[in-house]
Structure 1
Amino acid sequence: MTSCAGMAGLVTGASGGLGRATALALAAAGADVLALSRNMDGLSETAALAEGLAGSVIARQGDVGDEEQVRAAIKAVEQQFGALRYVVNNAGRQIERDFLETTNEDWDEIDRTNVRGAFWVCKYGAQAMLRARTGGSIVNIASVLSVSADPMLTAYTTSKHAVLGLTRSIAVTRSLARSGIRANAVLPGDMDTPMVQQYFAAHDDPEEARRQVASAYPVERIADPAEVANVVRFLVSDESSFVNGAAIVVDGGLGAALYTNA
């Protein structure tokens, strides 16, 4: 297993789904994790699942859409562990709405979490890494919709394009790169997370909806969050020391097919 021993950092949206899987993957590899989410019950469960692992998971309630709460979370990592070595931007919102029906409120809600929240975590995380002088890794959870589109997810698609642009902008900031601070994006397809499960549940036949989505993938299934978390763990670790500005697609071959029924 890739080692992250001695590394401490922040994982947002860690109350379930990919955020939880990432926190557990990092703790299993020896990292210390400050797990952040608005959902304290889910965070407590994540922390409980991490008991007995090589690293630790500390639950902290907070909203990435609030700049001061982000600053406080970064500071908490420094106070608890001495230095911040990584941040994983996983917190995200999704609203399903036809483009022509998308409202200003939809747009603002998605932007608040997916773009501004990600920006603040990256900015204050990078500043903490510079203070520590030990380098660091910024991992942003983007999406296959960072390089494609969905007419029912206009605001979300736009936000994920922005996350990829943010990642690349950080990666080419030479003051950070010279200090050993890297930024990379992970672009998952559909995962078996609460967000996707809610999408299935909204259909008259949830199982048929799941089958239809899975059929678009050459592997004929959606991802287990742990499969994506393993990629995040690699990017956090020193084994990825020359990976910077990358957009790593983890989609079971979805984007490689010209036609989804190929």
Structure 2
Amino acid sequence: MAAGQDRIAGKIALVTGGASGIGRAIARMFAEQGATVMVADIQETLALAVVAEIAEAGGNAEVLALDVTEEDQWAAAVDGVLERHGRLDVLVNNAGVGGGGDGTIEDVTLDGWRRIMGVNAEGVMLGCKHGVRAMKQTGGGSIVNMSSIAGIVGAPQLSAYCASKGAVRMLTKSVALHCARKGYGIRCNSVHPSYTDTPMVERMIQSRSDPERMRAALASASPFGRMGEPADIAGAVLYLASDDSAFVTGTELVVDGGVTAM
């Protein structure tokens, strides 16, 4: 392991949606920084590939098949981590969906709304519930919830997505206060990226009549003139997972290239 790459050495971390995009970047960065990483995803084959990448680089990782909308799967996943490793130090609730089923408040369907809320909001709630259950047994930990700038500022065509990410933002504060006042030693924070170069965003770009124009528009939305990279977001999550942020809880860390500063 290279010098300085030990910010979360020895920690046991679970990352949902770890098979691709931001989740993959987080899992790889966590392993590089010394953690043992549970790569949790509904896409087991892709998760296995991430675990293989981490192993090839000399890191430690395991696959967890997990549908974040199913509480029994959450309970089994967390119980399995506790049985194998004795504790859970870091939980990153990263799994999320967007796009299909969304629209303006006039266009969104109830089924589409429930699908997005089920993964983005209820999935995070279940993660927090079972993460707290595990962490309080061993004296604390860090929960990081992936929200979005759409949880801070509105987008007219993303009614369900904005609602789901706003829910994550406020749930995070509730969890943080509860755990602090109970003395659990558990911190809970949210991360708010802008458009990031991930497979989900690429699918959205390719769905448009002029993909290159859409790509350019997303890049120009940031004062930096580019979309975020998964590693940009992973670095922020690493800070919140590490002891560097020991006095940080209930906060929202915006990683958007200045979009919300305008």
Cα distance change on mapping 1:177 and 1:55 into 2, 3 Å? farther
Which segments of structure 1 move beyond 4 Å, counting only runs of 4 or more? Answer: 174-177
> Per-residue displacement from partner, 1:35-73 (whole Å, max 9, x unpaired)?
111111210111111114464121121100000001111
In 2, Cα distance between equivalents of 1:42 and 1:246: 31
Is 1:111–2:120 an aligned residue pair? no
| Residue pairs, 1:183-262, within 5 angstroms | 183-257=188-262
Structure 1 unaligned runs (5+)? 258-262
SS at match of 2:136: helix
Cα deviation, residue 150, structure 1: 1.0
> Per-residue displacement from partner, 1:63-107 (whole Å, max 9, x unpaired)?
000000011111121122111111000001113423211011011
Is 1:65–2:33 an aligned residue pair? no
Cα deviation, residue 233, structure 1: 0.8
Cα deviation, residue 6, structure 1: 1.1
Q: Is the 8 A contact 1:176 1:182 kept in 2?
A: no
With the length of structure 1 as denominator, give the TM-score of the two structures: 0.94
SS at match of 2:69: coil
Hey, what does 2:106 align to over in structure 1? 100
| Residue pairs, 1:1-262, within 5 angstroms | 1=5, 3-53=7-57, 55-95=59-99, 96-133=102-139, 135-174=140-179, 178-257=183-262
SS at match of 1:51: helix
Q: Is the 8 A contact 2:6 2:34 kept in 1?
A: no
Q: Is the 8 A contact 2:179 2:186 kept in 1?
A: no
- Letter paired with 1:104: L
SS at match of 2:257: coil
Q: Which moved more, 1:203-212 or 1:152-161?
A: 203-212
The CA RMSD measured in Å over matched residues stands at 1.3
Structure 2 unaligned runs (5+)? none
Q: How many residues align?
A: 256
Q: Is the 8 A contact 1:2 1:234 kept in 2?
A: no
SS at match of 2:240: helix
Hey, what does 1:260 align to over in structure 2? none
In 2, Cα distance between equivalents of 1:178 and 1:130: 9
With the length of structure 2 as denominator, give the TM-score of the two structures: 0.94
SS at match of 1:214: helix
Give aligned-pair identity as a percent.
38
Cα distance change on mapping 1:174 and 1:19 into 2, 3 Å? closer
> Per-residue displacement from partner, 1:182-212 (whole Å, max 9, x unpaired)?
0000000010001100011011221221001
Cα distance change on mapping 1:249 and 1:42 into 2, 3 Å? same
In 1, Cα distance between equivalents of 2:232 and 2:242: 16
Q: Is the 8 A contact 2:179 2:187 kept in 1?
A: no
SS at match of 2:55: coil
Cα deviation, residue 9, structure 1: 2.2
Cα distance change on mapping 1:249 and 1:2 into 2, 3 Å? farther
- Letter paired with 1:238: D
In 2, Cα distance between equivalents of 1:174 and 1:209: 42
SS at match of 2:222: coil
